[in-house]
Amino acid sequence: MAKTIKEINEKIKKGKAVVVTAEEIIDIVDEKGLEEAANTIDVVTTATFGPMCSSGAYFNIGAVKPKIKLGGGRASLNNVPVYTGFAAADLYIGANALPDDGPHNKVFPGAFKYGGGHVIEDLVAEKDLKLIATAYGTDCYPRKNLKTWINIKDLNEAVLFNPRNAYQNYNVAVNLSDKIIYTYMGELKPKLGNANYCSAGQLSPLLNDPYYKTIGIGTRLFLGGGVGYVVWQGTQHNPTVKRKDNGVPQAPAGTLAVLGDLKQMKPEWLRGTSMQGYGATLTLGIGIPIPILNEEICRWTAVRDEEIYTQIVDYSEVYPQGKKGSLGEVNYGELKKGKITVQGKDVPTGNLSSYPKAVEIAETLKKWIMKGDFLLGEPVAYLPGPDSGYSVKPLTERPIKEGG
């Protein structure tokens, strides 16, 4: 029997909703069958906890006396530059931002111990941050310099706003060359020394809703320990990739742009991250509830690691040169066993995404919903699906001639 989000929310308000995690639903469907599972279960919680580079936060620092217009000026937080292109007192910091005078990769591989992601973690941890700003001065905003400690508690708004999170599936990264390489997928040892992947697999939000039938614009979610929303498809959203018969993409596909109140978040779910030789970023926890509106949606949430496939990609040549080519396909069941076979060789695997943390998030979200604290958001619009024709495009360079 089909349900609506409205009906499920009524049950949540009465404390009567039946909520399970995307891990638990697998056995329930196995034992009870799809029909009974779809009838009895109201919500399945999904989650992921991993590095998400396209993340950042904006905040309003409040007016100072005399006034300063940060817009068009320069500013840094704990020596990490922040973006000043918005009005007088709004700043945005991206997770990948790095100090101007940092060593970066000058001594290779750089350690990238402190960047935008770390600033965001410190902000959420309610630490005082050093704001240094310069402006050009106007009649209405005369001040040209500002040096002050700021704290999230004193900011007017502090909002996490991430252009691309929660990738629906991701590559397995390997290194075919004979020297070690340092990538955003971690350290890759030469000659297939290791294989790194980055997904919660059967718990991952968009792998449980492969056609974006319930996760859309307006979906309410667990974001960094607080409450957030899906606000758009993420950048590089690519729903048209090849899919298995179960609808699950076999390569990186859908993405989400998400937003939430940074003041509600907790550093435990939002960690500054250093990728050796690559840069600084943010590791983030996201949990998304899927309303079980019908049997089809229920079946999708019961997907297991062994049914989710992804591509093995060489990061020494194929990825950096933008070439096409997969070294083969593996499923997450194989990856999670700790060893896969690539070109006849046994290769140990490592996951950049924490499955135990994803389980914790899915359980937390489950509790919130069962307690009646968290109602499901009804999408006001849906994300472009596989039939939309929407896909990611590379940049075709048009060289600029001298003087042009």
Partner 1 sequence: MVSKKIVLHFPHTLVDQPIVCKLVKEYDLEFTILKANVTPREEGLLVLELSGEDKNYEQGIEYLKKTGVNVRPLSKNVIRNEERCSHCSVCVPICPAGALIVEPLTRKVNFYSDKCIACELCVNACPLGAMEVHF
Residue listed under structure tokens 């308000």: 13
| Residue 60: Cβ within 10 Å count | 16
Rounded least distance, CB 393 to partner 1, Å:
30
Cβ contact 229:49 at 8 Å: no
Question: Whole-angstrom Cα distance, residue 260 to residue 96?
Answer: 19
Rounded to whole angstroms, what are the CA distances from 366 to 45, 270, 302, 376, 396? Answer: 6, 20, 16, 12, 45
Cβ contact 261:74 at 8 Å: no
Catalytic residue among 53, 140, 198, 298: 140
140 catalytically annotated: yes
- Burial class of residue 100 (count of CB atoms within 10 Å of its CB; 0-12, 13-18, 19+): exposed
Rounded least distance, CB 353 to partner 1, Å:
6
* 178 versus 397: smaller Cβ distance to partner 1: 178
* 296 versus 334: smaller Cβ distance to partner 1: 334
Strand 195-197 relative to strand 345-351, pairing: parallel
Please name which of 26, 124, 15, 48 lies closest in space to residue 368, comparing C-alpha atoms.
Answer: 15
Rounded to whole angstroms, what are the CA distances from 271 to 32, 225, 263, 302, 322? Answer: 39, 11, 15, 30, 30
* 9 versus 48: smaller Cβ distance to partner 1: 48
Interface contacts to partner 1, rule CB under 8 A: 49-51, 109, 111, 113, 186-187, 189, 193-196, 271, 273-276, 281, 283, 336, 338, 348-357, 359
* 34 versus 359: smaller Cβ distance to partner 1: 359
Please name which of 56, 63, 78, 271 lies closest in space to residue 154, comparing C-alpha atoms.
Answer: 63
Rounded least distance, CB 355 to partner 1, Å:
4
Q: In this structure, what token pair is assigned to residue 96? A: 């990948």
Question: Whole-angstrom Cα distance, residue 386 to residue 391?
Answer: 9
Backbone angles phi, psi at 196, to 5 degrees: -105, 135
Question: Whole-angstrom Cα distance, residue 267 to residue 126?
Answer: 9
* 69 versus 118: smaller Cβ distance to partner 1: 118
Rounded least distance, CB 104 to partner 1, Å:
15
Residue listed under structure tokens 């998030």: 361
Which sequence positions are flagged as catalytic? 140
